[in-house]
Amino acid sequence: MSETTIVGESRVNDPVTIVIFGASGDLTHRKLIPALYIAYAKGLLPSAFTIVGFARRDYDDAIFRGMMADSVKEFSRIPTDDETVAHFVEHIHYHKGDISSPATYAELKEKFREEGVYPENRLYYLSIMPSLFETAVDLLKKSGLIAVPGGTHWTRVVIEKPFGKDLESAVALNAGLLRHLDESQIYRIDHYLGKETVQNILSFRFANTIFEPIFNRSFVDHIQITAAETVGMEGARGGYYDENGAIRDMVTNHLLELLCLVAMEPPGDLSAKAVRNEKLKILTAAKLDIRRDISDAVCRGQYGAAVGEDGSQIKGYLEEDRIDPHSQTETFAALRLKIDNWRWAGVPIFLRTGKRMAKKATEISVQFKVPPLQLFQHVECEGDVCDITHIKPNTLIFRIQPDEGIFLKVGTKRPGMRFVVEDVKMDFSYSGTWDKALPEAYERLLLDTLHGDSTLFTRSDEVEAEWRVVQPILDNLDKLEPHTYPPNGWGAPEADHLFHGTGGQWRNE
């Protein structure tokens, strides 16, 4: 079995202090603290660990512990019991301070002096505005709170996306972080990589022999990756979202990472370096498939208003809270890419993501070519209308979420006197195979940071290569005005034209 898989389940040995910057935020409550609790309850955290919540609010240890206990009880994926929760929160402390103020870091350093409470290995989790990443790292460094790599104790810094707003700012951010940290100390989280089903893409491809030989331009017609969401701008998301939009929020990271996993060459081993090198090669070879105009390769959309089935008003994007009523930010994006390498030359790759779509579904579908001879076409009639039905191409679907699983669509003979071939599904579903709920992405990723395994994190050159893929879109937004699309459908119908000349279409299922 791969080393990465074993690492994720094994106990962390190094004592550690985990400092969460932005501890009063949503991510801490909903994801980070519940994930750490689960690791604790499963006995995976080291015997000596301390969690420090760092934020501006006027809390103290007792108040913060109470809040974190509530978060665990509300959001833990596994059942909680009061005694374990009480023991867990005893490891939590609170540090009130301003991220931009040097005095705060001096106070933190002073706090760390308390004998036996704050182990010297440090994980700094920056769950803060990206504009403050560099400030926090700079002040940590100036206060002597960052260890030299390779020394007796380690320092690791986790940052959340967005890693910049475009190529230029991503390069600047990387340079800023790398002034104070070694690349090996930086963990850029893309939570999609922590999903069990996403990790299974590599296992499925490289632990089986039957699919890999046909994963190439000779057999594959095209690949589609969809991440559809039903949510709009619920909560207070509007401000962040309007600044970013679907391309920056989903395509530049999650969708391109999925593409890497489905398209990359087998790495020589499962080390972080080997896996990330292969991903980088895909990102470097991936380009927008622009034939005459950028609109051949990109479609942007924005959800409009509608009346729900129950007569309720569904707000359009421009009417949502914290959204500029004249905003040109896209809530839907569809792209046609090509990968200029031997394996994938000539195979179109389609990516799409959107808010307020028909259903929540993230999937990768690899559609194979149709057989060279249509032996089994037949006539199918409904009422007065008859159609010639061709057999459908085989499709392999990695269902990332929900209904997690992997399905293969194959043609099979419908029982009866005639040769009528029908599409059926051979499937593997997680829920039908294992009775355990899948771990949350953050559970895996936090443990990996504590183990020092960066395989599932994005390296600086990968991040820059991702921006390079989408930069032509950002440079041509004036030519790509968003089309308004009705909520609860499959996004902007104009995205259909990306398939022009291929004979394919979006899988709206």
Which residues are tagged catalytic?
254
Alpha carbon distance 188, 418 (integer Å)? 57
Shortest reach from residue 249's CB to ligand BG6, in Å: 5
Q: Which is nearer to ligand BG6, 215 or 442 (CB)?
A: 442
Shortest reach from residue 229's CB to ligand BG6, in Å: 5
Q: Site for ligand BG6 (CB under 6 A): which residue of 14, 61, 120, 229?
A: 229
Q: Which is nearer to ligand BG6, 28 or 155 (CB)?
A: 28
What is the Cα 490 distance to its own chain's centre?
20
Alpha carbon distance 458, 280 (integer Å)? 10
Q: Which is nearer to ligand BG6, 196 or 229 (CB)?
A: 229
Q: Spell out, one character per residue from 387 to 426, where the chain touches ligand BG6: x when CB under 6 A holds, - when not.
A: ----------------------------------------
50 part of the interface to ligand BG6, by CB under 6 A: no
466 part of the interface to ligand BG6, by CB under 6 A: no
User: Per CB under 6 A, which of residues 63..122 are in contact with ligand BG6?
Assistant: none
User: Per CB under 6 A, which of residues 132..191 are in contact with ligand BG6?
Assistant: none
Q: Which is nearer to ligand BG6, 348 or 482 (CB)?
A: 482
Q: Which is nearer to ligand BG6, 80 or 362 (CB)?
A: 362
DSSP for 447-486 reads HHHHHT--TTS--HHHHHHHHHHHHHHHHTGGGSPPEEE-
CB 477 within 8 A of CB 327: no
Shortest reach from residue 232's CB to ligand BG6, in Å: 10
Shortest reach from residue 126's CB to ligand BG6, in Å: 15
| Residue in 260, 338, 354 with CA at minimum distance from that of residue 501 | 338
Q: Which is nearer to ligand BG6, 249 or 363 (CB)?
A: 249
Q: Which is nearer to ligand BG6, 229 or 289 (CB)?
A: 229
Tokens matching residue 425: 């599904």
CB 349 within 8 A of CB 222: yes
249 part of the interface to ligand BG6, by CB under 6 A: yes
Enumerate the β-bridge partners of residue 53: 20, 94
User: Per CB under 6 A, which of residues 347..366 are in contact with ligand BG6?
Assistant: 362
Count, residues near ligand BG6 per rule CB under 6 A:
3
Alpha carbon distance 34, 76 (integer Å)? 5
What SS3 string covers 45-101?
A: CCCCEEEEEEECCCCCHHHHHHHHHHHHHHHCCCCCCHHHHHHHHCCEEEEECCCCC
Q: What is the DSSP letter of 242?
A: H
**103 exposure class (CB count in 10 Å sphere: 0-12, 13-18, 19+):** exposed
CB 327 within 8 A of CB 318: yes
Alpha carbon distance 316, 67 (integer Å)? 35
Q: For the CA atoms of the chain, what is the radius of gyration?
A: 25
Q: Which is nearer to ligand BG6, 30 or 392 (CB)?
A: 30
CB 444 within 8 A of CB 453: no
Please give the helix or strand (H or E) that residue 400 lies within, else none. Answer: strand 395-401
Shortest reach from residue 69's CB to ligand BG6, in Å: 25
CB 153 within 8 A of CB 120: yes
Shortest reach from residue 400's CB to ligand BG6, in Å: 8
Shortest reach from residue 187's CB to ligand BG6, in Å: 16
Which residue has its beta carbon closest to ligand BG6? 249
Shortest reach from residue 360's CB to ligand BG6, in Å: 7
- List interacting residues with ligand BG6 (CB under 6 A): 229, 249, 362
